[in-house]
């Protein structure tokens, strides 16, 4: 087989969703993803998904957040928005702290990287 057949871009006809967007124009946005068939009819065999998005102001500026909301209706998604946003923020901050910890604990060995000044070699005169 040629590489072009392996690299074809195709949509998954069995995984289609209709997307609706809701916002309060203040705090955030909710997306409701309703499963549909390839013909556009609602597919009741799959669950509707709710995705929230907002921005949180930090010392470094606005931090965009996007997060799944466990809900069975738009009303439930609206009610769960704040708690879901805070959980996403806490998770993001934990991930950032872990990345900082890993960065701080990395050991720099002269000549081992090839990056930096002098191609990674230390010269003394």
Write down the pLDDT at residue 108: 66
CA 50/CA 61 separation, integer angstroms = 26
CA 34/CA 47 separation, integer angstroms = 7
Write down the pLDDT at residue 7: 82
Write down the pLDDT at residue 122: 44
Write down the pLDDT at residue 113: 56
Write down the pLDDT at residue 19: 98
Per run of 10 residues, the mean pLDDT along the chain (length 125 residues) is 71 96 97 97 97 92 95 98 96 92 78 53 45
Q: Count other C-beta atoms under 10 Å from residue 28's C-beta.
A: 19
pTM of the model: 0.73
DSSP letter for 70, please: -
């Amino acid at each position: 087989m040629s590489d072009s057949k392996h690299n074809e871009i195709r949509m998954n006809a069995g995984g289609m969703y209709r997307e609706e967007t809701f916002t309060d124009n203040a705090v955030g946005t909710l997306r409701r993803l309703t499963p549909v068939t390839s013909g556009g009819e609602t597919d009741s065999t799959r669950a509707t998904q709710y995705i929230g998005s907002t921005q949180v102001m930090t010392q470094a500026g606005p931090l965009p957040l996007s997060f799944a909301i466990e809900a069975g209706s738009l009303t439930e998604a609206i009610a769960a928005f704040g708690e879901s946003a805070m959980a996403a923020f806490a998770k993001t901050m934990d991930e950032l702290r872990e990345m900082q910890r890993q960065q701080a604990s990395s050991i720099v060995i002269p000549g081992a990287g090839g990056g930096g000044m002098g191609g990674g070699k230390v010269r003394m005169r």
